[in-house]
């Protein structure tokens, strides 16, 4: 995504240099760059959120597995105590 944005920015800059763009053209190019940067930031934040969520899911699964082991051990202890 960043390569695409950088390519677009470079092409825009070259186009402006070639035609010595007007203020309106320069502003449009700046707005396009700002939009691309905002989209990149949004995607990067979304990717970080997904990674955090995946980590939380893994943590929850590990906790559940640990609880299952504890519950099984407690049940075995209760069964042993009941037979005494």
User: Which pLDDT score, from 0 to 100, does residue 25 have?
Assistant: 73
67-82 pLDDT tens trace: 999 999 999 999 998 8
Dmax over CA atoms of the chain, in Å, equals 94
pLDDT tens, position by position, 34-70: 888 899 999 999 999 999 999 999 999 999 999 999 9
Joined tokens for residue 49: 């959120």
- Candidates 62, 4, 75; CA nearest to 36 is 4
The pTM (predicted TM-score) of the whole model is 0.53
List, as one string, the DSSP characters of 3-61. Answer: HHHHHHHHHHHHHHHHHT--HHHHHHHHHHHHHHHHHHHHHHHHHHHHHHHHHHHHHHH
Tens-digit pLDDT profile for residues 1-45: 556 665 656 656 656 555 565 777 777 777 888 888 899 999 999
pLDDT on residue 73: 93
pLDDT given at position 33: 84
Each domain of the chain, given as residue ranges in start order, spans 2-82
Half-sphere exposure of 79 (CA within 13 A, CB side): 6
């Amino acid at each position: 995504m960043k390569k695409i944005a950088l390519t677009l920015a470079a092409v825009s800059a070259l186009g402006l240099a070639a035609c010595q763009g007007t203020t309106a053209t320069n502003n449009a190019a700046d707005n396009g760059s700002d939009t691309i940067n905002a989209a990149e930031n949004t995607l990067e934040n979304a990717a970080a959120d997904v990674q955090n969520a995946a980590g939380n899911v893994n943590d929850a699964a590990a906790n559940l597995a640990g609880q299952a082991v504890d519950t099984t051990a407690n049940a075995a202890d209760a069964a042993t105590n009941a037979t005494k």
